[in-house]
Structure formats: structure tokens, C-alpha cells
Amino acid sequence: MSYLSLLITSRSGGLIFHTPLSPHTPPLQTNDWLRIGSTFHSLIAISKTATPTTTKEGITKVTCDNINISILSTPTGIKFYLVSDANVTNPPLNEIYAAWSDWVLKNPFYEIDMPVRGERFRREVERICGYTR
Amino acid sequence: MPNVIYDLLIYRRDGTCLYNRTFTSAVPPTVEKEEREKLVYGMLFSLKELLPSLSPTSTAPPTLKSINLPPLTLYTTTSPTGYTIVLHAAAAGSSHCDWDERLRKIYEVWTEKVVMCGMWDPNKEGGGVEDTEFDREICNVIRSWEK
């Protein structure tokens, strides 16, 4: 099992955190990550309108033949996107959310909806996903 | 738990919806039918554009198979000729292989009853397959899956 990357977007859809979690993660420019994060945010909003029934969460998982994208939409509007191999069955999104609460939200210098700069959260995410740089 | 099939949409390669059939209507639609068709296709198109950027560099570009939208799932496949089939369904206990087979079956019926039909114009505006042999056949197939 392997995780490829983690993205986090703010309430408005702006990318506030991204990190590679594998040496096979494609090397993208910062602008590419920003574009991906905002596009996903928009797609989740569109999916709530485009489905034939009501869905509160929108997209929670995208399944492809070789990768999966698991999405956690929190009540505060923050969204976590974890890209992983197709054989990953239980992505640790809740653990990552808990780490977010501990190492980002409880940081007195962190401003809500701003990009995350602290290394401690990144190291915690890498520990949860079993990645060693 | 029986499957619940909500609807089936089939698109041409340029995004025109050729077939849109609702089998189970859960809630009154909040957008117009044509608007919804465009939203669904646009969502899939945007996702397919993003996926190669996220997949490992050493593998082939990923093929989109399904999107989980609790309480239902969107299953999709694209034929080599560019027809995109989209099926909204709610099913517990079904594997992806089951749905790959089912989408393949829908494509077989589409090819047999529509593409190979000499009366159908593939470039005609709107498609026009709502009330035809294909429609009757696909309804029978869908109903058999819901049991």
C-alpha cells in the first residue's frame, strides 16, 4: 500500500497545504497544485447539484484503475484529498484530520484559511502515511 | 439489498448527450435536464483532465471508473470510439468488476441497437434514441439488475 500525495483546501477552495508522500509522486509546479486543489473544490460543489438525489458530502472517493482519490469534507469547509494506490482500502483521513487539529489549528501563529508553513504537521502526515523522505 | 439504478446517460465524444433515461427519481430535480447533462459531462471531463497529473510518473494515465457520491455511486466508462456511458446507482455488496461488466453490457446493447442501426444518424442533433428498440432493451436490462 502506498500514498502518493495529500492536498488540503480551505473553505473558499484555495490550496493551503500539499505534500508528496511517495518518490513516485509526479513533480508538479506550485501553480499546478493550486489548480488541482481549486478544481477539486469546484467539482465537489458541482457534484452536489448534478446527482439525481441529495448528497450532503459530494464526492468522497474517485476510483481509477491505478489510483484512488479519497476526500474528506469537514463541517468547517476544509477538504482533505489523499491520492493513493488503487489497493488502499482504508485511507487514514480521519487521523490526518486529527493531526490537522493538533498541529495546525492549535498553533497560535496560524491564521485560518492561510497556507500552512509549519513542518510539524507535514512530519506527522508523513508518519501517518508511512513515508520517509 | 437490491440495486437501485437512478439514471443512465450516454454522451458522444463532443459532450452531446445522446441518451438520458431516469429509472428511479429520488427527489425533484433542482436543475433542468439539459443543464444537468452538461454538469455531469463537465465534471467527468474536468476529472479526466486532472487525473494524469496525480498518477505516478512510472505508470500509464489512469482510467476513471467510478465516483462515490453518498448515497449513490457514479459508474462510468468510455468506449474507444468516444462514447461515454454514465450510470448512477446505489448498490451494496457489488464489486467494481460487476459494474464493469454491466457498463460493457450497456455498450453492447448500444452498439447493436443504435450504432448498427441504419436509420440512426450519429451526427444528428439530440441523438434521438429515447423511444426505440434500444430504449426498450436497456430498460429490460436495467430492471433485471435491480432485482
Q: What is the pLDDT of residue B68?
A: 92
Domain extents in chain A:
3-128
Question: If pLDDT is split at 50, 70 and 90, which confidence band does B42 have?
Answer: very high
Q: Is residue B117 very low, low, confident or very high in pLDDT (cuts 50, 70, 90)?
A: confident
Quick one: pLDDT at residue B114? 86
Domains and CATH numbers, chain B: 5-145 (3.30.450.70)
Strand ranges for chain B from DSSP E:
4-11, 17-22, 64-69, 72-78, 84-90
Do A21 and B70 touch, CB atoms closer than 8 A?
no
CATH architecture of the domain with range A3-128: 2-Layer Sandwich (3.30)
- Confidence (pLDDT) at B76: 95
Question: Taking CB atoms and an 8 Å limit, are B74 and A51 in contact across chains?
Answer: yes
Expressed in percent and rounded to 5, the helix, strand and coil fractions of chain A are 35, 25, 45
Q: Stretch A31-53: mean pLDDT, rounded?
A: 91
> Which chain A positions have a beta carbon within 8 Å of B64's beta carbon?
62-64
**Cβ separation A26–B63 shorter than 8 A:** no
For residue A35, what is its C-alpha cell?
489548480
B88-110 burial, b if ≥16 CB within 10 A, otherwise e?
A: bbbbeebeeeebeebbeebbebb
pLDDT at B132: 78
- Mean pLDDT lowest among A33-47, A113-127, B36-50, B90-104: B90-104
**pLDDT bucket at B130, cuts 50 / 70 / 90:** low
Closest residue of chain B to A61, computed from CA coordinates: B68
Smallest Cβ–Cβ distance between A60 and the set B30, B55, B70 belongs to B70
* pLDDT at residue B91 is higher than 90: no
Could you report the per-residue pLDDT of A55-94, keeping only the tens digit for each?
788 899 999 988 999 999 999 999 999 999 988 888 999 9
For residues A20-35, average pLDDT = 91
Mean pLDDT over each residue of chain B, to the nearest integer? 84
Contacts of A23 in chain B (CB under 8 A): none
Cβ atoms of A30 and A19 closer than 8 Å: no
Whose cell is 480521519? That residue is: A94
Q: How confident is the model at residue B125, as a pLDDT?
A: 65
Output the DSSP codes for B52-69: HHHS-TTSPPP-EEEEEE
Nearest to A36 among B53, B55, B70 (CB): B53
User: Between B70 and B46, whose confidence is greater?
Assistant: B46
- Sign of torsion, CA B116 B121 B127 B128? negative
pLDDT of residue B90 exceeding 90: no
Other residues' Cβ atoms within 10 Å of the Cβ of residue B58? 8
Predicted pLDDT at B3: 78
Question: B68, B87, B97: which to substitute to probe chain A, counting the most A Cβ within 10 Å?
Answer: B68
